[in-house]
Structure 1
Amino acid sequence: MSRPETLVAWIKANKKAIGKVVDYNPSADKLYTFDFTSANIELDIDTITDSTRFSRWIDNKLGETGSRYGIGGYMEHRTLYARSPLFDADDEPRRLHLGVDIWAKAGTPVYAPLDGTVHSFKDNDNFGDYGPTMILQHDLDGLTLYTLYGHLSRQSLNEITIGQPITKNQQIAEFGIVDENGHWPPHLHFQLMFDMEGWAGDYPGVARFSEKERWLQNIPDPNLILRFM
């Protein structure tokens, strides 16, 4: 079996081994699915490039719909990355979002959904970047899986060490504020990887759309773990 197929099989056989990433109650909490493709005509470049205005737009959308969390983004071809030169390139800009975003208020707790260890962490402090980032490593009966948590608070990185054991449902972090999370509206970028490919404290969360098939082999759908939908 391929690694994605092996992961799916492991999850089916070990449902009780999977915990939560945020405090989501499917019987009580409403989710709002955000669309950040060109099909979303509500968002213009002026809103996207102004972090305060963009945050207000997110908050209003969640409030209007009575949603505790916003969610979306896996393998989404996003136009909003035009807000930062970090994603530009001469040949093809990076617009393919590789993880899932969970939108909520700053300070929202983040938990480890699986037993594991701290692989690495780093404050990727650039406009439009992850900001404080943590990566955990998990051994799923011989299958190595990494989970990435981006846009955290700086405080989240204060008392962790590489190799530190982490248990399922342990709080590991919280959503960061705009001024420290890469200048985004508060949210969590959650991503799965089979191979870190030499990266530490960071891993691409946005890629060229033309390379989608390559990324699908290393980055499975985070909803396999989140189980939001």
Structure 2
Amino acid sequence: MSTIDASVARWSLDETERAGKPLIVLLHGVGSHEGDLIGLTPYLSPEYAYVSLRAPQTYGGGWSWYPLALPGAPAYEGVDEAGDAVLAFLDGLGGAHPTVSLLGFSQGGSLSLQLLRKAPTRFEAAIVLAGFVVPGGTPAVDDAVTAANVPVFYGRGDVDQVIPADAVARTEEWLAAHTDAEITVYPGLAHGIAQEELDDVNAFLGRVRGA
């Protein structure tokens, strides 16, 4: 059973400053760590508190949310187990935050969409950067995502050589079928995050909060 080590989670604000703020959970990519995406927070909306989690499995010099398999097509059960770990972490926060949203990069992006499948009414929004949806969701699970109508932002580069083309196509098809996603492709961007993309994320968050 996977668990999140809350003691190493990196927060953007001190506890007294973040109480009562909407929360965004940052989910890093494979081989990375909790100190990675927290570096984006100076460029993201100050309306939110941010927490960056460490994935539970070791991978090289970093961490992984679930076992790797065929690129872009991990075993559904392993991703589901990682989702359970994140939900348990959020349970531990009690009612400290009025809403919770997700921002995941690459493998963390796949986990963000899996969390929508596991608890579609729990999240205000999901931001997926250079990620993908995991194959294997049942119609009942994915129909619950449709019913929840959670806003999703999906950004990727058009020269990303890490996420396979079939995983990108699967993700865009799934998003079109089950969400009202904003999909933006960034010319010349490889497997990374650009300032233009962060600007678009902030605009998206503004629309979410203003809805």
What range is the shorter-chain TM-score in? 0.3 to 0.5
Higher strand proportion: 1
Higher RCO structure, 1 or 2 (CA under 8 Å, sep 6+): 1
* TM-score normalised by length of structure 1: 0.33
Larger fraction in helix: 2
- TM-score norm. by structure 2 comes to 0.35
